Amino acid sequence: MIRNVSLPLLAATALAGAVPVRAQSAQDVASEVAALRAQVAELQARLAALESGRGQPALQGQPLAAASVRQAQPESESIQQAQPESEEEEEPEIRFRGAPQFTAPGGWSFKPRGRLQYDAAYVSSPAGISDPGLGFSNELRRARLGVEGDIPGGFGYTFELDFAGEDVEVTDAILTYEASDAVELTVGQHNNFQSLEELTSSRFSSFVERAAFTDAFNFERRMGLSGTVSTGDLIAQAGVFTDNVADLGDDGNNSMSVDGRVVFSPEVGATRLHLGASAHWRDTGDVAGTSITRYRQRPLVHSTDVRFISTPELGVREETSYGLEAAILRGPFHFAGELHWLMAETLPPGPDPTFFGGYAEIGWFITGETRGYRNGRFDRTRVANPVEEGGAGAFQVNLRYDRLDLNSDGVVGGTQDGLQASLIWIPTDYVRFLLNYARMSYDDAAIPSADGDRSYTVDVIGARAQIDF
């Protein structure tokens, strides 16, 4: 289509083809000028028609003055072919939730997600114990990147990889379906409802590591199918699981578990209550003692491989465990505590020990925020005065007593009692800095001191810098 062509240029083009080089009389010149004016008027009318969409461009390769122009369509046809405003495609909506979330018409959405956590720690050495894992250590604790979103029809998805270790690991790989407002089904690799502490994301924990029993009892994400029913203040969750996706390549892995959890979380005035219980049964699939299980734990921080508390290797056939949860949130204060028991049935004629773990913690936001809570677990805390608005961010202090007992039925794994404190600075909703101190006391420790003593204390300092989106 010809657009924005100046009249002087058209006139010059027409003159170039219409005026001969030889001399002309005044009458001839006047005739030529009149003819040119008529041509310019005609061209001007054609350009106006082209601009309004009622005409067609000149044929390619022909002089403009001599080009044939198709007859303009009737106005009624032109209007009929025009796109109605009501049928125009809607533009995707873009919101920012730590990262851009794209929402398209029809129920599609897409959002990148991830977290980066860098840890540094110091673990003191009991007298006479020398180990490279003691003293200063540091690591890239988590480096995760993934996507999440919705699919039309009530479906959703989450897929996330962790790049922090030597190998890339799949953390979450799930497909969800909202059967109704109250029922959601999940298939893929996800947490199997172990406890409040385990289900709370590491992005929102009050210490650099979770309570000792969560790792000691080998809690992890597993492949499975589960359902969640939410009605009012009650949440019920149950599922059937196999094993972690990284372990499923082993043909001898035939483990299977059934897991369930119930949470009642009413609001009583300005106070949020959380009462929960969970039960778990797992068949390891080990009938010949080829799969070895150990229950053990690090001293608060993950950057050291030293474990002062650990059971011997056990041939575990079945595990049965159950836990109790309680939490209270009121204004800037929160309390949380859990008790968890694990009964390990070993292959005959081995023992059948029952191990115990639990904690109690209290926290206070000095700057007045309330700890986030959603769907039966702790969630993101919204900073009242973030640094990007000229504020100082949020400051929180926490105290915790953490207990782990791995002595039972002739199995001596030791006991660990931790008195822990943390200071957290949240300058903005998606950035956190944590500083922890712990005094860890051991009895029947797995590592004896130089004089054979297995009862001693260890001091631990841990720090983390974190960003997530």
Cβ-based neighbours of 367, under 8 Å, separated by 6 or more? 332, 384, 385, 392, 393, 394, 395
Where residue 169 falls among pLDDT bands split at 50, 70, 90?
A: very high
* Side-chain half-sphere exposure of 100, counting CA atoms within 13 A: 6
Q: Where are the domains of the chain?
A: 7-84, 117-142+169-468
pLDDT reported for residue 142: 98
Render pLDDT for 27-65 as a digit per residue (tens, 0 to 9): 676 777 777 778 777 777 776 766 565 444 443 334 433
Answer yes or no: is pLDDT of 5 > 90.
no
User: Residue 259 class from Cβ within 10 Å (0-12 exposed, 13-18 middle, 19+ buried)?
Assistant: buried
Share of the chain above pLDDT 70, in %: 84
Q: Which of 241, 247, 248 is nearest to 225 (CA)?
A: 241
pLDDT computed for residue 213 by the predictor: 98
Structure confidence by residue, pLDDT tens digits, 104-140? 988 899 999 999 999 999 999 998 899 999 999 999 9
pLDDT of residue 81: 44
Residue 74: what pLDDT? Answer: 41
Enter the pTM of the model. 0.79
- For residue range 220-254, list pLDDT tens digits in order: 999 999 999 999 999 999 999 999 999 887 767 78
- Cα separation, 400 vs 206, in Å, equals 9
pLDDT of residue 29: 61
Mean pLDDT of 381-404: 98
Q: What is the pLDDT of residue 450?
A: 87
Q: Give the torsion sign (CA, 81, 82, 84, 90).
A: positive
Options 2.120.10.80, 3.90.1150.10, 2.40.160.10, 1.20.1630.10; CATH of 117-142+169-468: 2.40.160.10
3-state percent helix, strand, coil for the chain, nearest multiple of 5: 15, 45, 40
The pLDDT tens digits for 329-348 are 999 999 999 999 999 999 98
The residue type at 317: R
Q: Is the pLDDT of residue 159 over 90?
A: yes
Evaluate whether 265 touches 235 at the Cβ level (below 8 Å): yes
Q: For residues 142-163, give the mean pLDDT.
A: 97
Q: What's the mean per-residue pLDDT of the chain?
A: 87
Taking the C-alpha atoms of residue 218 and residue 92, their distance in angstroms, rounded to an integer, is 43
